[in-house]
Amino acid sequence: MKRNALEWAILVVSLAAIIGVVGYLVVEAVADGGRPASVGAVADMDRGTASDDGWLIPVRVSNRGGSAALSVAVEVKAIVGGTEEVSELTVDVLAGGSEVELVAGFSGQPDEDVDVRIAGLETP
């Protein structure tokens, strides 16, 4: 069966598009995959709110690296009524270049700013 010029043109454009997409995906995988996970966390005290059980503070956890981080453990410490309280949070999977918001809970409004730290994580 003989192909006409339109069929050949569509074939060439389709192949070019497929090769372009595959090439882009390969470059992205190689470029970002080489950077290790770089995880950090910040509490947003200004958005803290009272709840029925105490005080809730949003915590933003981000991964600026190219690789995923697994089982990210976040520890948030606060002084409430003169007593230190600890809220432990976990993110199962945090992809490279992504960010999630968690909420830390305390028995009451903290007396001062909270301390946030990454307690540990796994790398794939």
| DSSP per residue, 70-112 | EEEEEEEEEEETTEEEEEEEEEEEE-TTEEEEEEEEESS--SS
pLDDT tens for the chain, 124 residues long, are 788 989 999 999 999 999 999 998 888 767 655 678 899 999 999 999 999 989 999 999 999 988 899 999 999 999 999 999 999 999 999 998 999 999 999 999 999 999 999 999 998 7
Give the length of the chain.
124
Residues 6+ apart with CB under 8 A from 66: 31, 32, 33, 34, 35, 36, 96, 97
Q: What is the pLDDT of residue 26?
A: 84
Provide CATH code, domain 39-122: 2.60.40.10
The two beta strands, 115-122 and 39-43, are unpaired
Q: What is the pLDDT of residue 74?
A: 98
Q: What is the pLDDT of residue 31?
A: 67
Beta-sheet strands, E only, within 37-82: 39-43, 49-51, 54-63, 69-80
Residue 88, both tokens: 């432990």
Q: By the 8 A CB rule, do 52 and 36 touch?
A: no
The residue behind tokens 């790398």 is 123
Q: What is the pLDDT of residue 33?
A: 55
Q: What is the pLDDT of residue 52?
A: 92
